[in-house]
């Protein structure tokens, strides 16, 4: 059996749709990953073969003022899962982030590149990686700029703002790869299926700035919105973010024979699914 933790979250929902076979999903009401007892009780009862951990404290700016909670959930919580998966001989699949990098390299980051998180969120996710690496049979999947159905994300924020105003400023000096949770879920499924272990990068192909991404979202939605470029310094958010955090996904292609579709095509598919589901 495959167990998805954080199954009601944005990525968790798509994983529940995509993972094949006997799959069970749990969330905060069934398991608190910060509690070793809660984790051990559930895993020893269910005895899954694979545990995919999507549970996390994902509010990047919120983490800056809640350091202790971020470290507990994103770091020690993974340590609890690693100990319990080790005890039952299960594989731990841990989701991580491009925010473990400082964004100064200037070319896409490989799995072995030096990490240097700029934010509390990035530090807490890095601690989670270390916990998984040290204590369990693990597969760490780093990804970035996620959007998907039922989640709080950039695409949904832009579409909401489109109904409220006629112009918007969006940062144009952060570069990454917007990634659809459905495509990422397929990649995770392939990595598990191919018995991959260690660390992998997985994101939709191609790169853009948030400014370019916003323009594409409004274009796909057929909405007239004036998008103005803004710098990260002007936006002045609590958490520092890497300016160039593109992930090199060549290892995923090499080991699992998979290349995710381009971010623009993925966005188009997502928007089509949205309108089929009656969302505007
Ligand atoms: N979103 C992105 O752009 C992005 C980018 C790179 C990597 N990631 C990583 O990808 C993974 C999935 O992200 P996501 O955006 O799908 O997350 P999400 O939508 O925020 O879902 C996380 C889920 O975990 C649950 N949770 C929080 N604390 C928990 C705890 N102590 N015990 C058990 N469950 C708990 C949350 O419940 P509540 O909602 O009730 O708190 C929520 O259902 C995370 O590891 C994240 O760090 C995300």
212-240: per-residue pLDDT in tens?
999 999 999 999 999 999 999 999 999 99
Q: Is 109 a catalytic residue?
A: no
83 found inside a domain: yes
Q: Structurally, how many domains does the chain consist of?
A: 1
SS3 255: helix
Q: Judge whether 12 and 4 are in contact, CB under 8 Å.
A: yes
pLDDT at 277: 82
165 found inside a domain: no
170 found inside a domain: no
pLDDT at 247: 98
For a ligand 1 pocket test, name from 25, 26, 28, 92 the mutation site with the most ligand atoms within 8 angstroms of its C-beta.
28
CATH label of the domain that carries residue 65: 3.40.50.720
CA of 204 relative to ligand 1 center, distance in Å: 19
Q: Quick check: CB of 71 below 6 Å from ligand 1?
A: no
CA of 59 relative to ligand 1 center, distance in Å: 9
pLDDT at 150: 86
Q: Is 243 exposed, middle or buried (0-12, 13-18, 19+ CB in 10 A)?
A: middle
Q: Judge whether 50 and 77 are in contact, CB under 8 Å.
A: no
Q: Quick check: CB of 54 below 6 Å from ligand 1?
A: yes
Among protein residues, the one whose CA lies closest to atom 40 of ligand 1: 28
pLDDT at 280: 64
Q: What is the DSSP letter of 224?
A: -
pLDDT at 201: 98
192 found inside a domain: yes
Q: Flag residues of the chain having pLDDT under 70.
A: 280
Q: What is the pLDDT of residues 48-80, one digit of tens each?
A: 999 999 999 999 999 999 999 999 999 999 999
229 found inside a domain: no
Q: Judge whether 111 and 200 are in contact, CB under 8 Å.
A: yes
Contact residues for 54 (Cβ-Cβ < 8 A; gap 6+): 4, 5, 6, 7, 9, 11, 12, 15, 95
Which one of 57, 109, 121, 200 is the catalytic residue? 121
Give the range of the structural domain holding residue 130, as residue numbers without chain letter: 2-153+178-205+246-261
226 strand-pairing partners:
167
The rounded distance, in Å, linking the Cα atoms of 280 and 275 is: 6
Residue with tokens 């593109």: 246
pLDDT at 275: 87
For a ligand 1 pocket test, name from 55, 94, 180, 188 the mutation site with the most ligand atoms within 8 angstroms of its C-beta.
55
């Amino acid at each position: 059996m495959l167990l998805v933790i954080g199954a009601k979250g944005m990525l968790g929902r798509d994983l529940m749709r995509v993972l094949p076979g006997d799959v069970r999903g749990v969330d905060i009401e069934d398991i608190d990953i910060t509690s070793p007892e809660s984790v051990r009780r559930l895993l020893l009862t269910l005895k899954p073969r694979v545990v995919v951990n999507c549970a996390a404290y994902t509010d990047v700016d919120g983490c800056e003022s809640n350091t202790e909670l971020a470290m507990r959930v994103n770091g020690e919580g993974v340590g609890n899962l690693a100990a319990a998966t080790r005890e039952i001989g299960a594989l731990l699949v841990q989701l991580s982030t491009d925010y473990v990098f400082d964004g100064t390299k200037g070319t896409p980051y490989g799995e072995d590149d030096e990490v240097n998180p700029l934010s509390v969120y990035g530090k807490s996710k890095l601690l989670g990686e270390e916990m998984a690496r040290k204590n369990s049979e693990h597969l760490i999947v780093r990804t970035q700029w996620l959007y998907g159905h039922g989640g709080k994300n950039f695409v949904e924020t832009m579409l909401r703002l489109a109904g409220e105003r006629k112009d918007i400023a969006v940062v144009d000096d952060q570069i990454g790869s917007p990634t659809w949770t459905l495509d990422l879920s397929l990649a995770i499924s392939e990595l598990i299926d191919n018995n991959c272990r260690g660390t992998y990068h997985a994101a939709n192909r191609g790169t853009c700035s948030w400014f370019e991404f916003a323009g594409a979202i409004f274009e796909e939605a057929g909405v007239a919105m004036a998008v103005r470029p803004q710098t990260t310094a002007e936006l002045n958010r609590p958490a520092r973010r890497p300016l160039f955090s593109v992930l090199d996904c060549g290892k995923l292609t090499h080991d699992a024979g998979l290349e995710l579709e381009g971010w623009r095509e993925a966005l188009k598919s997502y928007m089509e699914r949205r309108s089929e589901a009656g969302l505007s």
